Amino acid sequence: MANTTATGSATRRQRPVFATVPIAVVAAVLLGCGLPFPGPAQDGRDDKPPAVGSGPGGRNQSLGLNPAQELEVGRRAYRQVLREYRDRILSSDSPQTRRVQKVFANVVRAAQLPALQQEIHLRVGGYVFEWEANVVRDEQINAFCLPGGKVVVFTGLLPVAADDDQLATVLSHETAHALAHHASERLAREDDGSIGGVLRGLEYDRMQEAEADHIGVFLMPFAGYDPDAAVRFWERMSRGQRGGRLPEILSDHPSDATRVNNLRKWAPAARAAKQEYDAGHIAPVGDNTREGRR
C-alpha cells in the first residue's frame, strides 16, 4: 500500500494514493483473507454476483462481487486500514473528526433518499451500507471510501477543504464510489479473472472518477450543501500542482479542465433537481428503489 513517510520537516511521498489505496486494500483482502472470488453457488443459494444490468445513469454495469461479498470485503479491508493507521486515528471527540462526521452524516442521509436513488439509477436493492468515517493524522491531501461505506479522511485534506461545502464535495464523491459499486465493477472487468489480472487492473479509472463526480455533485444539494463548491474545490486542487507537487486527491482523475467544465455543467442541474424534489415533483415509484439496509 502507498504511504507517506515524514522525517523532521521534510516529507518523502512514495506514490499517489487517492483511489488506489482502497482498491489495493480490497485486492489484498481477496488474496489473503480466504474470501473466495465469485463462483458456483453453494447449498442451493444463488450467491453469484449480479449479471450485466443497469448501473448508474442507466448504463450497463457488470459486478464481480455479490452484495454479501462486497460488504465482507469492505469490512475486512477497513479493519486492515485501521490496523495500519491505529496510532494516528483521531478520537471521536476531536474537532476534525466531529467536522468530518457531521458533513458525512448529511451526505449519507441524502444517499438514502429513495427518490434520489431512483433519479441517479443506483443499484442499492439488497445491499447493506455500514456508513462510518474516521480521520487519520497524516499530511496527505486525500480521502477514500471502501466497499460498504467505510470512509477514511486524512487531516491534510481538511485545511484545503476551505469550508463544509468543499468538504462535502470530497465526501460525496467518495460516497458515490461505494454507491456505484466501483470496486466490484473493476473486479468484473478483468479479462482473465486471474489474481494477477486483478492486481494489475485494480484502480478506479477515469470513467468511474467522472461518474463519482456526477453522482457526488447531485448528492450535495440534497445533503444541504452548495454544488458550486465542487467547482471551487477542484480548482483549488489544481492549483496545488504548482511547483510540481500533485495532490494525491488528483491522481488518476480526469484532467482539471474536463473535471471543472463537467462540474460547472452539472451543478445547476443538481440544484434544479433539489428544487423539483422540494416542490414534490420527484417521488420514488415502487419498492424496488429502497435501499437494502439494516
Looking at the annotation, which residues are catalytic?
174
- Tell me which amino acid residue 2 is: A
CA–CA separation, 187 vs 30, rounded Å? 10
Q: Are strands 60-61 and 53-54 parallel, antiparallel or unpaired?
A: antiparallel
* Torsion from C-alpha of 186, 22, 19, 203, nearest 10 degrees: -30
What is 35-81 written as a DSSP string? Answer: PPPS-S-STT---SPP-SEE-GGG-EE--SS-HHHHHHHHHHHHHHH
Pairing of the two strands 60-61 and 132-136 = unpaired
- Sorted by sequence, the CB contacts under 8 Å of residue 19 that are 6+ apart come out as 144, 177, 203, 204, 209, 251, 252, 253
Closest by CA to 219, choosing from 112, 73, 125, is 112
Q: Are 111 and 219 in contact (CB under 8 A)?
A: yes
Other beta carbons within 10 angstroms of residue 125's beta carbon come to 13
Other CB atoms within 10 A of residue 229 CB = 22
Query: What are the strands, taking DSSP E only, across the chain?
Result: 4-7, 10-13, 53-54, 60-61, 132-136, 143-145, 150-154
